[in-house]
Structures are given as structure tokens and as C-alpha cells.
Chain A
Amino acid sequence: METAPKPGKDVPPKKDKLQTKRKKPRRYWEEETVPTTAGASPGPPRNKKNRELRPQRPKNAYILKKSRISKKPQVPKKPREWKNPESQRGLSGAQDPFPGPAPVPVEVVQKFCRIDKSRKLPHSKAKTRSRLEVAEAKEEETSIKAARSELLLAEEPGFLEGEDGEDTAKICQADIVEAVDIASAAKHFDLNLRQFGPYRLNYSRTGRHLAFGGRRGHVAALDWVTKKLMCEINVMEAVRDIRFLHSEALLAVAQNRWLHIYDNQGIELHCIRRCDRVTRLEFLPFHFLLATASETGFLTYLDVSVGKIVAALNARAGRLDVMSQNPYNAVIHLGHSNGTVSLWSPAMKEPLAKILCHRGGVRAVAVDSTGTYMATSGLDHQLKIFDLRGTYQPLSTRTLPHGAGHPAFSQRGLLVAGMGDVVNIWAGQGKASPPSLEQPYLTHRLSGPVHGLQFCPFEDVLGVGHTGGITSMLVPGAGEPNFDGLESNPYRSRKQRQEWEVKALLEKVPAELICLDPRALAEVDVISLEQGKKEQIERLGYDPQAKAPFQPKPKQKGRSSTASLVKRKRKVMDEEHRDKVRQSLQQQHHKEAKAKPTGARPSALDRFVR
């Protein structure tokens, strides 16, 4: 009859025959009674609190336990983890072999933490400090909860592993297509379009739609999953670059003379004559800004929601050919022929930063989606990966026989670059590490030299634009498996797209807020705080937050004579003085400790160092 699994070790053993008092058979609706006999093992420690939280059940049990359990007949509001493990018996009498809350991996919790605890805030009042502590505790709690909710993510990322030392780079696309299910195999296709020149392509933000433009004027937009063509036109002019705007409804095409905006039905909507001879386009989705780099050396930002040019910055570096955006902070990276990469924001006339990357000119730049790594390739045949957060130093370098062109990062951190007509993909160890350039993960040869590369968002697919047309390659492990339905949903309906568009326009970030750290708005504005404080001191004539001078409390019974008051004041003054001296000594120690490790060898000039 007993089919319950064996209980864990911390359950008291069954009553042996030595014990005289026979235990009443426990009904499944009754709670565990407290073993009153001396012979029974104590079991795990039980606190009175847990006993009080147990719910009151049937009337007879209630009468029995009335004296022990509290009178409140409430269902316990505390989470289940706090209950005594002994009381966790299920209906069948089984016991939870893993009592307590489930463990959560620390890295996952770290992912959701947003407060930088190492940062010191300026000295504030006790009230502010207590509120900050409360906020920090809350943040920890919520990040644990968010880490637990990761369990609900339905999809797993793809992978490709070679057996027994097999090199994954030698696996060809045909093999992968054979080994994979039909739906995924259908994602690999080739469009042979030799007539209209090398193609550049762009996927929409949800990854559902593809737009491509050939050098001789062929422009098309289609839903590549269902292979439904939205429009196909020839603009009768050279097409240099093509981009989707915020949704699949609008296309921006950089033609020979000016910038044109088309509908997805092929209707020309706008011809923007202020942006002339544009070579490259980038769309900043959360700011609704279209950044254009032109041959005249100007970087122009066009706000597509109101149709105004927000900023036209002169990069003062000649022809602008190489442009990429950093999706993490919406900063534009421009590559120049003197080997530098400059970082631009529409708020400033000068670049935010300039990084010297290569000995020759910079051929191509790409930044990964978290804004941590930047891949650059130069005319010196080198492919470098830089660290963008913190030190702007190269993390890894690789000399390639052909220079790498058109690098691109995938959502999960894979890097692709085109070398002639061969496409190379490099992968990293995990999601957080940079791709290792030692060995490529996958390679593929195309029918012509490569002119455009982009990973499809949320899919394990790489789109390649080359002189022979468009190829869609399978790259297992490239796409983010679990999308967020409210941000970009590839399966959204027309109504959902309309609602999303309205909300996105309402929370459009103004261009002035673009800077290197996107969380800069959340920081305490220390400069203004200190300035305000100075002004307040000036206005009031004294510092209201300064410590008031010590006033000895008046005491009774003759303890308040002048001499004793003076003595008390003296005591406090000496104490403060001692504290100050101690602090200054500590600071000196710190300075010396910092200074020592830098100088390894003693030199003759040390005697002049202060």
C-alpha cells in the first residue's frame, strides 16, 4: 500500500517496539504531531515560529492542539521554503529530499544586478544612506527572482560539435543542411542575381524581413521565412547601402546622389537632398536616428520620426567609408585612413574618443551587441578585437593572409568576416568571452567576393551579400533563442506591430542623451550637488549640515560647574583631534603602499622623489 519514496535522513525513525505508547495513525489531512515520548529522536530543530504558521485543519485536531498552536487560523503567508522540512510531507507521505529554496547560479544573478556596489557615493545624511541600503537589498531580492524566472525560457540555443577531433571549420553547409530538420534546412537558400551587381543586405530588427540592394540599382524587400516578396524595384541609380528603418514598413537607400526613403511596396516617399553622396547608413532604433556617412566627410543624423536633421558633424578626416554603430550606447564608430577609429555622438561636435587601431588604414569596424568588444580590420592584414568597456586595449590580434572585410557580430557573440569570397566565423568560449581568433568555427566559400554580412537576429542564420546575389547560411548557435515579445517579436501581428510602434515613438530617447555610458542618467550628479551646497553656504552664511559644536548637556547635583563643563568640552575636542590624526596617518600609509609596487628597481633619482 505504501508507495511513497523513502524519506530523507532528517526524519525521526519509525517507532520501535520499546516505546509503550502507540501512536495514533496519522490521517492525510492532519499535521504532524509533536512527539512527546522521550525515546523519539528530536529530528531537525524546530522553532516555535514554524509551528505557529501551520494552517489549522479539522476541528478535532484543532481542539487537541489548541494550547500549542497560536489562535490565528490563517494560512501561512511566508514562502514555502521557510517551513520545517519535516512538515513538508505530501499527500502520499513523501518528503522533499531537497528542502529549502532551490539554489540559483551566481552568474545568472550577476547578470540582473545593475547597481555597481564598488562605487562610493559622496557622504550623505543618515536618511539617504538608509534608503540606499533598502534599495540595494531590494535589488538583490529582485535579481534572485529574475534569475529564477530564467527557468521559464522555452528555447535552447543551437550548437555544432565535431566528433573526435573533427574540425568544425571543415564541415560544409550541405552536410549541416542534411543533418538538420526540414524547417531549419529551408532557411538555407541562394538567390542567384548576377545581373545587378554586388549586393548589400539588411535584416529588419525582428529578423523576419530582409532587404537587399544591388550596386546596379536592384532593390528588393521580402519576408525571407515565407519567401513572400514585398517589393522589387530598380531605382535606376547606383545603390551604395540599404537599411530598414524602425520596422519593415520603411527602407532607406543610399543612392549615388542622395538618400531616398521607400515604402516596403516600393513607393518612393522621400528624397533627402541634404544627405548627398552617402556611402554608409546606420539606424539607431531607440533614438529613431538614421546616421549617414558621406564622401564629403560629414556624419549626418536624421530623425526619422519628425524628419529633421539633428546634427551634421564634420569628421575632418576626409572621405568616410567605414561606419558601424555600438548597439549598447548608440555611439557611431568611424574608421579612418590613418588607422584610427573615432567615436561620435550627435550631442558633441568633437569625437567622444579616438582609438589608434592599425598601422595602415582601417578597413572595417564592428561592435558586439553588449558593447564590450570591437572588431577592427585594417590594411595591415590584421584583425583585432578591442575591449570597449574599461581599457581601450586590443584583447587579441590575428594576422590573416587576406585582409578581413565586413565584420559582424551575432547576438550570442560569434564574429564573422569575409576574406575575398570565403566567409569565416569565429566563436568564443561562452556568451561573455570574446571570440577566439585561433581557429574558425565555420567557413564557407561563395560564388563571388563578399560585399555584405549580417547575422539574422533571433535565428541561427547568416545573410551574405556577394557579387553573385544573396546567400543565407546556417550557423548553429548564432541567434538568441528567447526573444522578448514586447521588444522585438518575429511573430507579431499587424495590431501588435502598430501598438509597439506607438509605444516606441512615445519613449523615443532624445539625441542629446547619447553618451559613452548609457546609464549616465542614473548616476548622482556630484558636480551639481557640490555646487548647490556651496551656493547654500554662501546664501545662509553658515553650513547647515556641518556638525554643530559640542554643547555639554546641563547636569544636576553640581556636575554642571564651569570646570566640569570645560573638562567635558576638552575631552570631546581631544577625541576628535585623535581621530583626525589617526585618519591622516592611515591615508599616508595608503599612499606609501600604492607608491611602492610601481617602482621595482631603485634608481639614483629616487632621492629626489617626495
Chain B
Amino acid sequence: MKVKMLSRNPDNYVRETKLDLQRVPRNYDPALHPFEVPREYIRALNATKLERVFAKPFLASLDGHRDGVNCLAKHPEKLATVLSGACDGEVRIWNLTQRNCIRTIQAHEGFVRGICTRFCGTSFFTVGDDKTVKQWKMDGPGYGDEEEPLHTILGKTFLLGSCASDRNIVLYDMRQATPLKKVILDMRTNTICWNPMEAFIFTAANEDYNLYTFDMRALDTPVMVHMDHVSAVLDVDYSPTGKEFVSASFDKSIRIFPVDKSRSREVYHTKRMQHVICVKWTSDSKYIMCGSDEMNIRLWKANASEKLGVLTSREKAAKDYNQKLKEKFQHYPHIKRIARHRHLPKSIYSQIQEQRIMKEARRRKEVNRIKHSKPGSVPLVSEKKKHVVAVVK
């Protein structure tokens, strides 16, 4: 008779001293882990709920300007430095970590229409309503008053995009100093922003409450139409990852959109924040700054429920696991409902309802026209093509 019994040596399973870690032997056999799918579903539900619990995106409000903030610019090398220009011609340089203003310059007499920094970070240019473009040194205290005529630089090297008040977006070639292409939309575009990761994609913030992502090579149809704002979209900025962008709108909110989706994933608003004129995404893709009409610059988190600071390895592992669970179960109705839920101020909410009714009415009329006319006589135009009027080479 050959016999062997299963006998475990407790020394292999129990820790030796109180200062050791506990021993946890693992066996990944699915027979020992029943109900995988329902348990993971419940974990995903919990993760989604906790994400909403910890969603506190507002960080700080920078006070100091005496008129509405008109434009923002980032320092290309220092993450914590931000420049802002106000409607009374004042330009301020802020330190985001200490949340105070480092320097104030009275740059123009009138609106500061645009600021941009040089790539080396040593100087910046401001454009004002008093028909001047001024160049300033980045580090103070004194300021120089060198005036050099320049275009407003919005795009990559060699390629320039500009939007004009006759509802078009023009792409210029810098090397040949000629316009390349022009696309005319229904309404005026307020700003365009290039995707830092995919150099031929740019997003245009339009007055007709939408944003259009265009591929430079094919301007006749936008790649995506982003619809979620209820008033004119004033500014747009891309995240350095190139996967999302943030838009500021005349309805007093900012929205974060993924590049490939037509709906926003996040909306930030505060009672105190009025019409948001300019918005920027910091270069470490973690924070969003917006300057608004009521003279404040606000700092928000890009991911509302993210824990800032250094995380321990266990925290990181738990965060990654929860992220993957939320992604895996995102389409289940209960989880989708919780993940999508956002509180909106009454004005925006009622505007959304109104615009939905209007859109629904327009669509119904369109459907009826198609149904009751000769098949093929009324062409079906996709939503994307509806907004582009013409493309001119």
C-alpha cells in the first residue's frame, strides 16, 4: 500500500515574526475563484461610485486682475508659470504652486487680445487693441518696449492656421508665405488648436455651440463634430497627450472632450465663474486653467477624482485595477448611469432641454420630408457634412 496524505508545514504558511509581511500563497485556478464576473461587476460599480464621491476638481482661484481675463499663455519650460492678459491691458505672470502673482505689467491701453511665449521661454509677445505688438522679457523687473511686427503664431512650425471673422479657417504655408486651403463654415470660428500628437489634426471652436475636429488633408468633412455646449465656444486647448481637449464657452462652463467622441466626458462649472473666455491645459496634462469674465483665473484638475502627489505602489495598483474595471464594465446600464451623472446649473440644464426639443423637431421634419417625397430626391446629409459650407483651395 502506497499512501501519502496532504500535510502542510505551518512554517511555510505563517510568518515568523510580527515584523515580517504576511505570507499569501496564490492559486489562480478559476475553480477556486467562483462568480468572477458578478464579483468584478460589483467591484466596477463600487469603483464608479467612489470616483463620483472623490470627484472634487476645483483647486484654486487666482485673484488679482481688475478686468475680465482675455487670454492665457503657458511658459514652455516651467510648469508653474502662467501668463494672463486682461481686458484693461494688464498682463500678469502667476506662479501656480504658490498661487500668487509674480509680476504685473501694464502692457496696453485696451484689451490684450493675445499673448504667446517664445519656445525658448525668454520672452513673450502681447497683442493689444491699441494696434501694437510688444515683446517683453520673461524675467523682470524691468520691461523692454521693443516693437516688432509679427503675425499671431497659432500652429506648428511652417504651418499656420488662422480663423477670420468671415467664417473661414485658413491654413498658410510659412515657407512659401502663401495660403494653402480655406474652409468656410456656417458660423465664425473663435479659436483653433493643433493636436500636439497628431500634427495634421486641429480643432476649431465655433460660434454655433460646436467644436469641429478637422484633418488638414481633407477639409471637406470634419473628422468629428463635438456637440455639448449650449452657447458659443470661445476657446479650445489640447492636452499634451493629444487624446483630449478642453473647451471654454460663453455658457459659464468648461468641458473636456475626448478626441474621438462627440460628447464631453466632464463639465466644470461654479456659481462664481461667469463667461469663460480662455482655457489652457498645463503641459503635464494634469491641470486646467481657465480665465473668465469675472477677473479670476481658476485652476482645476483634469481628472476630477485623481489623487495628487506621490502614490505608494499599492495605491497605484488599486488605482490601475479600478480604472480597468471601470473601462471593462462601462457599457452596463447601471454603471453608465452613475458614471455619466453630473450636476449642472439650472441655466445650462434648461438650455439643454430646450435645444434638444429644437433639434428633435428639426430632425422629425427632415425625416418626414424624406418619407413623403420621391425616394432619392431628398438627399440624406450626414451631421458632419451639414456644417461645412465650402472648401477653397
Contacts and interface: CB of A to CB of B under 8 A. Distances in A.
Size class of the A contact interface (CB-based, 8 Å): 35 or more
A247 interface: no
Contact of A485 (B2, B5, B23, B367): B23
Nearest to B15: A493
Nearest to B41: A521
Interface of B: 1-8, 10, 12-14, 22-39, 41-43, 46, 363, 366-367, 370-371, 380
A162 interface: yes
A541 B380 CA distance: 11
Contacts of A290: none
Nearest to A146: B28
A509 B35 contact: yes
A102 to B, nearest CB: 18
A175 B1 contact: yes
B46 A487 contact: no
B5 A327 contact: no
A369 interface: yes
A344 to B, nearest CB: 17
Nearest to B39: A507
A8 interface: no
B27 A162 contact: no
A158 B4 contact: yes
Contact of B7 (A168, A183, A483): A183
B38 A489 contact: no
Contacts of A146: 28
Interface string A531-544: 00000000011100
A160 interface: yes
A484 B26 contact: yes
Contacts of A157: 6
Nearest to A113: B30
Count chain A CB atoms within 10 A of each CB in B1, B12, B27, B37 and give the residue with the most.
B27
B3 A159 contact: yes
B28 A484 contact: yes
B2 A176 contact: no
Contact of A163 (B1, B26, B42): B1
A191 interface: no
Contacts of B38: 286, 509, 513, 518, 521
A493 B20 CA distance: 13
Contact of B5 (A149, A161, A474): A474
B34 A486 contact: no
B1 A161 contact: yes
A153 B27 contact: yes
A486 B26 contact: yes
B5 A476 contact: yes
A241 to B, nearest CB: 23
20 contacts: A153-B27, A158-B6, A163-B1, A180-B4, A180-B5, A459-B6, A483-B27, A484-B33, A491-B10, A495-B22, A496-B22, A506-B43, A509-B38, A509-B42, A510-B42, A518-B37, A520-B37, A540-B363, A540-B367, A541-B366
Interface in A159-208: 159-163, 166, 168, 171, 175-176, 179-181, 183-184, 187
B32 A480 contact: yes
Contacts of A176: 3, 5
Nearest to B369: A541
A112 B10 CA distance: 29
A460 interface: yes
A159 B4 contact: yes
Nearest to A506: B46
